[in-house]
Amino acid sequence: MSENTEISPELLNDERALRLAKREAYIEAGTNPYPEHSEVRDYAADIDAKYADLPNEAETEDVVKIGGRIVAKRGQGKIMFVVVRDVTGDIQLFCRINEVPEASWELLKKLDLGDIINVEGIVVRTKRGQLSISPRSIVLLSKAVRPLPEKFHGLSDKETRYRQRYVDLIVNEDVRDTFRKRSAILSAFRRYMEDNGYMEVETPILQTIQGGATAKPFITHFNALNQECYLRIATELHLKRLLVGGFEGVFEIGRIFRNEGMDLTHNPEFTTMEAYRAYSDLEGMKALAQGVIKAANAAIGNPEQIEYQGKTIDLSGEWPSRPMTDIVSEVLGREVTIDTPAEELAAEAKARGIEVKPEWTSGKLIAEIYDELGEDTIVNPTFVCDYPIEVSPLAKRFEDDPRLTHRFELVIAGHEYANAFSELNDPVDQAERFAAQMEEKAGGDEEAMEYDEDYVRALEYGMPPAGGIGIGIDRVVMLLTDSASIRDVLLFPHMKPEKGSKSGAAAAKAAQEAGAGAAYAPNKVPTIDYSKVAIEPLFADEVDFDTFSKSDFRAVKVKDCFAVPKSKKLLQFTLDDGTGEDRTILSGIHAYYEPEDLIGRTLVAITNLPPRKMMGVPSCGMIISAVHEETLEDGTTEERLNVLMVDDAIPAGAKLY
């Protein structure tokens, strides 16, 4: 830093300000801290391997030239040690004042952690046995004006890690390794598919028909055609058009978009591989799923028995197939089939806390019980098959029982990894199923498919019998890298606007919140017209003070929150209640709040209620909400809810009186 560069006293403890001043000092001295040219001829891992047998205190005459980021720096006086990290690993610089040119030595003294440099020097091994480079020249390639974090781990930093993935990758080797493995898994998928005669193709992301799956879409506007479009929710219908056109095996690896919730295994933007093969069937798709996942597992060096979130998963051998009714029978403790009366199945579901609708058929009820209770019981890879027609609008029916379809889902560790069909190729049957889906959409089901007239027309030209499959790439990566959350395997997961953001609507919202003096999580169904609010009458019965005081109301900090898998209502909270141990509470408020909006908030909870199991998870307490009724436009009433939030300055565990 030049003597003319001055830092105001209030910025002396601001490291970013100090680094920006260094940047200015370099420029003033005629040094470009971001030069155009750089040269890298060697890499840390290659140097380490080549000179593994170099003895202590030995010096070579071999000149190497590396580039990388400074991640450690120590020493002073006449010797300095600097650790540089490149794409292959770390290597030490052993810097001695009498062997480094004066300009490079002066630069060394000014360099900060995070700076990126070019180093040319000879390979040596120190007295203590550390393989090193003894520099002969050092050039600054990029001045880092933000310091690297000292600690970048743990639950409290998860949001920062996902939002600033570039810093996460700099600091955490295990994160870099996960994404190297993701790349290798994708490559293995492609090699396997091509080696087995499939051709990779690309289909449109912008689509005019909501089809190929039952899901709520993202909607966008095509200005040139003045046309509303959907971001695709599946690639299926376009890929099967290619079978009609004469291709025998096609696949696509690409992004899918579904405007739905987020939890540990769901993200609105995700990657799938869909594949279709003419003259194949469900058995062919089982062989494909088993083969490609085993190939991906081998590609990253895993054994056939892997650990996933504390469970041992055996990927070896032939994976079994089980009818859905067998799994439902097992969890209910009685034999059920597609012939079991709907009223009996409804009673079994209600007895286990599953909400049912009176119009549901036996097939729909079996599928619902399986989703809520059966899937979680499966650990090792299992093809769950024989799906009811009610939940399989694109699958081919059984010839001997049209209530069932040729479909399977591959389930591992309680989660779905693949969905496959013997594909429906009867255009009349397909048209009827599309029509049924449109009736459901007219009844308010936003996820129902639309009638795809062109796809029906394609089928009328004749599509050969075929097998088709969709595999969730993100979930496969989670499984094979033992990652707990889908966000851990997405380089840049979608995040809510950063607090303090200064652009567009977020800026206006931040200003509004600042004016209010506190920020509260937005309710998805806010109350606006207070003239339509109905408040429940106050209790007429009095309660004595001793009875009231037995309820232990505490301020709790939300450390983590996510949607409970397979539940449309429940959010699972991890709370700091001031005791030093995490508290888990489940609350049925997902209709009103997104989990990411509640992380970091201060809520109120009753903490001395006995634990009760919800979806198999013990819930230890109750989140307090304010509930009222509102009159809707049609004259009916609807319950509304607002979670009670308090000032974040209130410490965790503070008791309410």
Q: Which long-range contacts (CB under 8 A, 24 or more apart) does 610-613 make?
A: none
Domain map (residue ranges) of the chain: 24-142, 176-320+380-488, 533-655
CB 607 within 8 A of CB 554: yes
pLDDT at 537: 81
Nearest to 186 by CA among 72, 52, 281, 296: 296
Separation of alpha carbons 153 and 169, rounded Å: 12
pLDDT confidence of residue 502:
55
Distances (CA, A) of 31 to 20, 144, 187: 14, 15, 43
Contact 64, 45 (CB under 8 A): no
Q: What is the structure's pLDDT at 46? A: 98
657: Cβ contacts below 8 Å, ≥ 6 apart: none
- For 137-150, give one letter per residue: b (16+ CB within 10 A) or e: ebbbbebbbeeeee
Structural contact between residues 639 and 537, judged by C-beta atoms closer than 8 angstroms: no
The secondary structure element, H or E, covering residue 455 is helix 453-460
- 45 close to 89: Cβ distance less than 8 angstroms: yes
pLDDT at residue 648, as a whole number:
81
Residue 75 is predicted with a pLDDT of 85
List the Cα angle 198/203/204 in 5-degree steps.
Answer: 170
260 among the known binding-site residues? Answer: no
Domain 24-142 and domain 176-320+380-488, same fold? Reply is no
Beta strands at 321-323 and 382-388: parallel, antiparallel or unpaired: parallel
Q: What number does CATH give the domain 176-320+380-488?
A: 3.30.930.10
Domain 24-142, CATH among 3.40.1280.10, 3.40.50.850, 3.30.360.10, 2.40.50.140: 2.40.50.140
Q: Hey, which CATH number is domain 533-655, 2.30.110.10, 3.40.50.1370, 3.40.50.2300, 2.40.50.140?
A: 2.40.50.140
pLDDT of 445 reads 66
3 state DSSP class of 608: coil
pLDDT at 613: 84
According to the annotation, is 450 in a ligand binding site?
Answer: no
Total-model pTM: 0.77
Cα–Cα distances in Å, from 38 out to 141, 370, 462? Answer: 7, 59, 59
Over the chain (657 residues), the average pLDDT of each successive run of 10 is 49 79 94 96 97 96 97 89 96 95 93 96 96 97 90 56 90 93 98 98 91 84 90 94 97 94 86 98 96 98 96 97 97 96 95 91 95 95 95 85 94 96 91 81 69 92 96 98 95 78 51 49 73 79 79 92 84 93 93 86 93 87 91 80 89 90
Q: Which residues contact 215 (CB under 8 A, 6 or more apart)?
A: 233, 234, 258, 259, 260, 447
